[in-house]
């Protein structure tokens, strides 16, 4: 499956590399950092795409060093043009260099794309004290009943693994992580350029979420899971 990213196939399907989503994702990551009072001098993003999440984070942490690792040449070529004094990019599989160490490792919307995601998650564990995962929760009652939302994710954006909250957290636990904090993020409600059906679902999701977050997410979907682990 990695050939989708190392060739131009993914870029042809997703020419923006979801840059428009990056400010929102950076905001979610900044929130979990702030609410856990994390301090850091180095932060790395694995699967950084065109680098916009790191650039957004670097603006609020100008004294920290940021590194982005990406295996897709198309995305990397766009990212490297954005290199700054404290943000660098690498066309490299981070697991090929076990000497790197960071205070914080960010893995945002990545594990669902990785064929052997268990080995991938285990391999990341020693590379930083704190790990922040953002995981789309593609499995919900409505998505399973309708079917096509999941098949579209597989065909158009390369999701080959599908999670709900409990399986996402269990995966991290089984890979040796301790979960320090987790929170839902309203990805299908707040991200730009949503499909018409997602826009229609926004109202019931907003109405029912305050009453029962877990039940709303399990039935209606539309949320991702942000996890701080070590």
Per-residue pLDDT at 1 exceeds 70: no
Per-residue pLDDT at 197 exceeds 90: no
Evaluated on CA atoms 213, 218, 219, 220, the torsion sign reads: positive
DSSP state of 132: E
The strand pair at 128-136 and 102-108 is best described as parallel
What's residue 198's pLDDT?
83
Evaluated on CA atoms 28, 34, 35, 41, the torsion sign reads: positive
Residue 101 CB partners (closer than 8 Å, separation 6+) = 42, 127, 128
Residue 187 CB partners (closer than 8 Å, separation 6+) = 136, 222, 223, 224
Phi, psi of 50 (to 5 degrees): -90, 10
Per-residue pLDDT at 8 exceeds 90: no
pLDDT one-digit tens code per residue, 148-191: 999 999 999 999 999 999 999 999 999 999 999 999 999 999 99
Q: How confident is the model at residue 196 (pLDDT cuts 50, 70, 90)?
A: confident
Phi, psi of 90 (to 5 degrees): -135, 130
Tally of structural domains, the chain: 1
Separate counts of helices (H) and strands (E) for the chain:
12, 7
Are 140 and 215 a contacting pair, CB within 8 Å?
Answer: no
- Whole-number average pLDDT of the chain: 95
What's residue 62's pLDDT?
94
pLDDT one-digit tens code per residue, 124-154: 999 999 999 999 999 999 999 999 999 999 9
The parent domain of residue 94 ranges over: 3-229
pLDDT one-digit tens code per residue, 51-90: 999 999 999 999 999 999 999 999 999 999 999 999 999 9
The strand pair at 42-46 and 224-229 is best described as unpaired
What's residue 192's pLDDT?
87
Q: How far is residue 108's CA from residue 103's CA, in Å, rounded to a whole number? A: 16
Question: Which domain CATH number covers 29?
Answer: 3.40.50.150
């Amino acid at each position: 499956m990695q050939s989708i990213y190392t060739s131009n196939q993914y870029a042809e399907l997703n020419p923006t590399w979801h840059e428009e989503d990056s400010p929102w994702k950076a905001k979610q990551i900044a929130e979990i950092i702030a609410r856990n009072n994390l301090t850091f001098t180095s932060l790395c993003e694995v699967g950084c795409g065109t680098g916009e999440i790191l650039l957004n984070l670097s603006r609020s942490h100008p004294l920290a060093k940021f590194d982005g690792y990406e295996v897709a040449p198309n995305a990397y070529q766009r990212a490297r043009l954005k290199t700054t004094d404290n943000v660098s990019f690498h066309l490299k599989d981070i697991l090929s260099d076990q000497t790197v160490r960071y205070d914080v490792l960010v893995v945002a919307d990545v594990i669902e794309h990785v064929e052997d995601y268990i080995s991938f998650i285990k391999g990341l564990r020693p590379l930083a004290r704190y790990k922040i995962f953002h995981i789309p929760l593609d499995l919900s009652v409505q998505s399973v009943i309708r079917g096509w939302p999941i098949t579209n994710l597989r065909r158009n954006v390369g999701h080959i693994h599908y999670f709900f909250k409990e399986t996402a957290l269990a995966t991290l636990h089984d890979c040796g992580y301790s979960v320090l904090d987790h929170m839902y993020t309203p990805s299908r409600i707040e991200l730009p350029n949503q499909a018409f059906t997602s826009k229609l679902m926004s109202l019931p999701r907003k109405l029912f979420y305050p009453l029962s977050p877990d039940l709303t997410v399990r039935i209606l979907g539309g949320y991702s899971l942000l996890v701080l682990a070590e």
